[in-house]
Amino acid sequence: MKVNCFKAVLLYLLLTCFSAMSIADDSGITNLKQTSKAFSDVAKKASPAVVFIQVEGTATAQDNVLPSPFGNQSPFGDEFFRRFFGDSFPGAPMQPRSPGSQRKVMGQGSGFVFKTESGLLSDKAYILTNNHVIENADKITVTFNDGKEFSAEITGRDPQSDVAVIEIDAADIPALNMADSSELEVGEWVVAIGNPFGLSHTLTVGVVSAKGRTSVGINDYEDFIQTDAAINPGNSGGPLVSLAGEVVGINTAIFTRSGGYMGIGFAIPSNLAMSIANQLIDEGEVTRGYLGVFIQPLTVELADMFDIENGKGILVSQVAEDSPAARAGIKAGDVIIQYKGKDVVDVGDFRNRIALEGPEKKVELTILRDGEEKRLSVIIGALSSDETAESTSSDKAGELGITVRNITRELAERYGVNLTEGVLITDVQPGSVAYRAGIRAGQIIAQVNRETINNVDEFNKAIRASKKQDKVLLLIKTDTISRFVVVDW
């Protein structure tokens, strides 16, 4: 009798266990189906507003610039592959072209119709994308998911943030809402939609890996959302979308060492993109706020020397004469800890917040000076166009393998440079003669063959003159050292 009771109890327990497992399995499958449906709903909602952008333009060949083996009809725009892969991208040029010759180039990317501050217009639609997608375009064609094609015109573009707006003459076009990217949380699901490698309207899924990436080295103004949603060449300009179907960012670039996707992608947050886009639509250009300070991170050692206990804030290393900061009483050695009542996180965060502030606005800064907290009112100035102009070197500098620019306040802040004379090196090609000589981005060229250099024009003239010789002597400076470097042509 006892044996039979035991068997009955055991059978009951086994049946209960299997039943519980079955319920658990059903629950898990249900959850997966719900998640899958959420992604599907996003695709249905967002895809009609996403466009495939095809660009036609002309480029001037330089020394060592080589055409693609795909010919002029290459499906992969060279500029996009260089942005992601460097100069060794798949389909890289194979044969030399004579310097100065013109060639037709094809490029492609993504974009999306968005709702502006004033809402949708009855006669046109605005499309957000990346500046690097359309900056050299002679002709722009956009294609929607349903196959409809439109010719597009550039409304405005901003190279410093890599945001651009184009427009098409069309009515009743689906448009996406822009989310408040400041509310985005690390770990949230996001969906990237675009046209990688020309594969129309591709959807990939991931999470927000990090926020506020400011030292990536892609744009002058950076506040990237990092995601592991797969982003590849051709995705540039496409939307990064929340599960609510709202845009939280513009897919812009990836980090890669292999030439392909490695799980790290970057998107411009929607708040920054909309701030730029609205100015481009209303004014055709972007006006940024200007404070007039040289700033640097507050390291542990610096915090100790300045007697800052919590180590928060950024250090003012120099104040420009007759600048808004100088007029407000800010001094070198001050530590800025708050801007408009909010903590200052880092140098990049502070630069972005100042830049996005409208000129003539009065704001409050909280600083630490000699251990005491002070509040100062500052009237933000306007960053003039000559401060943001990108003065680059000539082809002669290209033979050295470097890109140089005039030293502006903006570039000085970005590269942490306190020098004002010479030209700033912003890029050095790996393997070039300059690279082999130990020259790196962020350094200053103060002299060429013992002649003082004050700007890019003077640099170009000196470099052209030096071509008569086999070598060129450069005086390279940083904030801490100066050294002469001999570079062989």
Query: So which residues are the catalytic ones?
Result: 132, 162, 236
**DSSP structure string for 343-357:** E---HHHHHHHHHHS
* Residue 42 structure tokens: 């996003």
CA dist 305 → 302, 313, 448 (Å): 5, 14, 38
* 191 CB burial (10 A radius; 0-12, 13-18, 19+): buried
Nearby residues of 421 by Cβ (< 8 Å), 6 or more positions away: 407, 444, 446, 452, 453, 454
Angle between helices 347-356 and 270-283 (to 10 degrees): 30
Report the phi/psi class of residue 459: left, alpha or beta, with left for phi > 0 and alpha for psi in -120 to 50.
alpha
In 3D space, the residue among 227, 173, 240, 231 whose CA is nearest the CA of residue 199 turns out to be 231
Beta bridge partners of 213: 224
Contact at 8 Å (CB) between 315 and 295? yes
Q: Report the b/e string of 272-292 with b at 16+ CB within 10 A.
A: bbbbbbebbbeeeebebbbbb
Beta bridge partners of 474: 448, 485
- Separation between Cα atoms, residue 235 and residue 122, nearest integer Å: 28
In the chain, the amino acid numbered 260 is G
* Residues 310/312/318/323 CA torsion (nearest 10 deg): -130
